[in-house]
Structure 1
């Protein structure tokens, strides 16, 4: 699919992500982006679950101290992508054209292929194929 047909947020290529992982500190992004900080502080402070303010403690700790997928690093580009989507949506003709082009290009999309590629290129692991038997192939309890 041609890049100009879709709106994406991204940290960059696999190589760029690998380079950025070394020395990545999610708290740096938390501290320097007031919008991100406010969102995380609201989650941590129980804003979204006042009856159980500790409900999202593990998620916040994961984001601030173990952000394996560099979500906080991608936050700013995600917000920018959302702003582009909002602007594009105002132009009904351009929005419809982009939707149609994306639908037409989705034929080559395969979740299995995408997950396999992501596993290899991002996580650095080889997929493990397990064939599950069909229901008629499993022994029946008698």
Structure 2
């Protein structure tokens, strides 16, 4: 069986910058999840060291009123900075295609994590293989409305 391919790290980082640039210049690039596709949101968190707002574009699915994303850092080894910031300052602001929504972030655990991970597996058949490349467990992040 062939190993699922990931683009090189430089390409992933460049794609993030381009997506953020598109959003910053045009306000476009966000979408709602549908069928077996995730949506895109903009999350602004407070930097754990700087105290300054930091924004990132993330894929998400809906779970009732909650938004669910993965702290995967493009499947790279280190934890994503936005996740470390959210751990330090759980209150954040999400911008969805429909508008802004204040949220509070937390890691899903136990049965909830398993259920939400399975939801992401429906979207990406290579999810487990990608996650196995990371040296730590990938957090399933729940953004609850506040």
Alignment TM class, shorter chain as reference: under 0.3
Q: Which has the higher helix share?
A: 1
For the pair shown, the structure with the greater C-alpha radius of gyration is 1
Q: Which has the higher strand share?
A: 2
